[in-house]
Amino acid sequence: MQPELTSTVAPPAKPTRTELLRRFLEAYWLRPENAFWMTLRSMALGQVPLAGPAADLCCGDGVFTFLHTGGVFDPAFDVFSAVDHLDDVRDQHSDMFDCVNDAYHPPIVVRPESRIAAGTDHKAALLAKAQRLDLYDRLVEHDANTTLPFEEDSFETVYCNAAYWVSDIDGFLKEMARITRPTGRVVLQVKLDSLKGYTLESHRDSLGDRFLDIIGRGRAESWPSLADRATWESRFVAAGLSVEEATPFITRTHAHIWDIGLRPIAPILVRMANNLSPQTRTETKRDWVDLFRELLDPITDPGVDLFPRTEEPGEIQYVLALR
């Protein structure tokens, strides 16, 4: 079915870099390394006009896109209040966010100025969360390894920041091309397999398997389509897409900081935070966000790289046209 809304997603009213970082930190405070990565991702995406109707594939709970398009939550809101399976996160790699309850209603201070015509994800609970943001006209539960549930030429912009999670990547890219209008663009933000080198893996002999297991927590297994830049670009060609712009926005330095981060202790931090009294949680979060905003401010410079030689980036944004 053709999505009806044809509104153009206006470029977001641009907050300063510091303000953007603060908004992402407030939402993702217990994973500050994700907050700075998303800030960099949003800054790169802010350079591309997301003409409507736009699709957000693998949109998850929609919080990234809500913040990217200029939405502002009350500072009390964060993604860690509605979580489950905390005991299974570390060893069974469960997704703590894959749940929703009736109390989940993110308090919205400013709505994004425009809407997204369609969002998809294979997790129903994440889509139920996205629904409560009132940002998407249509949300569809869908496995990206199968035919997309949209007619051809449906969208002016097809955006996805999770393509490397999809096993049938060639089929997925072809499907993206099919649903994009001849005048439209596919905008992808893809991780590169250089990330595998931007870890402590080369120190396995001295650190041991368990150390790297605790730090990694099964990340790489979630990314079956991770590839180098040349492979991504040949996949685009095979799918009938041509590269119009390629913008690296994660350096080796960003990737190394993110590699350690607070990932291993996140379930424990979340449990601790959610057992605080509301007042103590609010005060603790405020001080935490203030500190990390200052600490991470220099890191949210897309060019920051503390290594002597420039290496492959960790993530690239591609703007792709139909060939």
| Interface positions with ligand SAM (CB under 6 A) | 58-60, 64, 121-123, 126, 143-145, 161-162, 165-166
Detail the DSSP E strand segments found in 112-179. 116-121, 136-141, 155-160
Residue with smaller CB distance to ligand SAM, 58 or 177: 58
DSSP letters, 43-63, are HHHTTS--PSSEEEET-TTSH
- Of the candidates 176, 201, 196, 199, which has an alpha carbon nearest to the alpha carbon of residue 186? 176
- Of the candidates 308, 213, 189, which has an alpha carbon nearest to the alpha carbon of residue 252? 308
Residue with smaller CB distance to ligand SAM, 166 or 289: 166
Minimum distance of ligand SAM from residue 210's CB (angstroms): 25
Q: Are 21 and 67 in contact (CB under 8 A)?
A: no
Minimum distance of ligand SAM from residue 29's CB (angstroms): 15
Distance CA 139, CA 128 (A): 9
Residue with smaller CB distance to ligand SAM, 132 or 286: 132
Minimum distance of ligand SAM from residue 129's CB (angstroms): 10
Q: Is the dihedral of CA 7, 158, 245, 318 positive or negative?
A: positive
Distance CA 270, CA 81 (A): 8
The structure tokens listed for 73 are: 């939550």
Residue with smaller CB distance to ligand SAM, 144 or 266: 144
Residue with smaller CB distance to ligand SAM, 64 or 258: 64
Q: Are 54 and 185 in contact (CB under 8 A)?
A: no
At CB < 8 A and 24+ separation, what contacts does 301-310 make? Answer: 302/40, 302/43, 302/44, 302/249, 302/251, 303/251, 304/251, 304/253, 304/254, 305/251, 305/252, 305/253, 306/253, 307/252, 307/253, 310/251
Distance CA 214, CA 204 (A): 12
Minimum distance of ligand SAM from residue 165's CB (angstroms): 4
Minimum distance of ligand SAM from residue 232's CB (angstroms): 17
Residue with smaller CB distance to ligand SAM, 114 or 225: 225
3-class DSSP state for residue 143? Answer: coil
Residue with smaller CB distance to ligand SAM, 38 or 296: 38
Strands 315-322 and 241-250: antiparallel
Q: Are 42 and 247 in contact (CB under 8 A)?
A: no
Residue with smaller CB distance to ligand SAM, 141 or 283: 141
Minimum distance of ligand SAM from residue 205's CB (angstroms): 31
Query: Residue with the closest Cβ to ligand SAM?
Result: 60
Minimum distance of ligand SAM from residue 162's CB (angstroms): 4
Residue with smaller CB distance to ligand SAM, 20 or 291: 20
Minimum distance of ligand SAM from residue 258's CB (angstroms): 13
Minimum distance of ligand SAM from residue 27's CB (angstroms): 10
